[in-house]
């Protein structure tokens, strides 16, 4: 799968998760996808929340790995 297609698929999954993040005052921004590593920037309350690592790894990463072929992990960028 090419990177552009993967970017599109990742964005679709993030758009499905976004209402849950927004409900808690946060959001995320897709920065890049490089060799199966999705780079996200956490925004709003998610950027400073002590549970953001759990949100990122247990929530967002798990959903992306399950729904987008080729995604290996999610990395937070600042």
Of 5, 1, 50, the C-alpha closest to 24 is 50
Q: How many domains in the chain?
A: 1
Which H helix or E strand runs over 26? strand 26-34
Q: What is the pLDDT at residue 3?
A: 73
Q: Cβ neighbours of residue 71 under 8 Å, at least 6 residues apart?
A: 6, 10, 33, 36, 38, 64, 65
For residue 58, give the CATH number of its domain: 3.30.300.130
Domain that holds residue 32: 3-76
Q: How do residues 17-75 score in pLDDT, each as one tens digit?
A: 999 999 989 999 999 999 999 999 999 998 888 888 888 888 999 999 999 999 999 99
Higher pLDDT, 65 or 1: 65
């Amino acid at each position: 799968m090419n990177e552009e297609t993967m970017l599109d698929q990742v964005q679709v999954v993030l758009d499905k998760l976004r209402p849950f993040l927004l409900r808690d005052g946060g959001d995320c921004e897709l920065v890049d996808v490089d060799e199966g590593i999705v780079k996200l920037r956490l925004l709003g309350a998610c950027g400073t929340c002590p549970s953001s690592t759990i949100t990122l790894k247990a929530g967002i990463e798990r959903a992306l790995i399950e729904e987008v072929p080729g995604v290996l992990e999610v990395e937070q960028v600042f």
